[in-house]
Amino acid sequence: MANLLTILRMLLAIIAIEFLFSGRPELVVASAFLTVWVIILDGLDGYVARAYNEQSDFGSLFDILGDRVVENFYWIAFAVLGFVGAWVPMVVVARGIITDGLRSVAFSKGYTAFGEKSMMQNKIFHFLTASRFSRALYGTAKALAFLFVIVAYIPNLEYFDLMTLKQYGIYSVIQQYLILIADILVYTTVAMCVIRGLPVIFESKRFLDEDKQ
């Protein structure tokens, strides 16, 4: 059941991004609503796995895979549309490739990214990367960044009717604040992404050293 929710989350993300590229205001608004459901499912799949005792090494791996697919889809789409700089998806994708590659080494030795068999043995590293608090905080920051980026740039659409707001000068003020908030959330999320990835690199050293012996 939990794995099906992960698949559904990826499918909804694809539809949301297709709507985003449509250029039609009503579909872009729908994209924002679908993104909310993508966020809800991100937290729900873990809850379902625990509630139905479906926790497994494969489930943990598949959940990370789902996270990677969804976040990469959004960041790349935002960069193509000009909402964020190209450096954002480059940093996020590079971080994901590095950490997931190292996690695969740990996985081959019986360790998982999270849970009871977590590869993170240092308490500080575990808190930064594998704790529920850290994962929830990063997930929340990422979710808010996605939503604010979408909402902030809706007024840029060619057919969006904001004549009334423009008359009173409200349009530009609202958008400026939304873009500012979106930018802050994007920078914060990317910083958290990098910071949470560094402990994986440090913890992986012992697995790589074992392979050299």
User: Per-residue confidence of the chain (213 residues) as pLDDT tens digits?
Assistant: 667 777 888 899 999 999 988 877 778 888 988 988 888 887 766 666 565 665 665 666 677 788 888 999 999 999 999 999 999 999 999 999 998 888 887 777 777 766 667 777 788 888 888 888 888 899 889 989 999 999 887 755 544 454 444 444 555 677 778 889 999 999 999 999 999 999 888 888 777 666 555
pLDDT of residue 60: 67
> Which tens digit of pLDDT belongs to each residue from 50-82?
656 656 656 666 777 888 889 999 999 999 999
Distance CA 75, CA 84 (A): 8
Going by C-alpha positions, the residue among 113, 139, 133 that lies closest to residue 55 is: 113
Distance CA 185, CA 54 (A): 33
Sequence-ordered list of residues with C-beta below 8 angstroms from that of 39, at least 6 positions apart, any chain: 139, 143, 146, 147
Residues in the chain: 213
pTM for the whole structure:
0.81
Among positive and negative, which fits the CA dihedral 66, 87, 30, 176? positive
**Residue ranges of domains in the chain, CATH in brackets:** 2-212 (1.20.120)
Indicate left, alpha or beta for 110 from its phi (over 0: left) and psi (-120 to 50: alpha): left
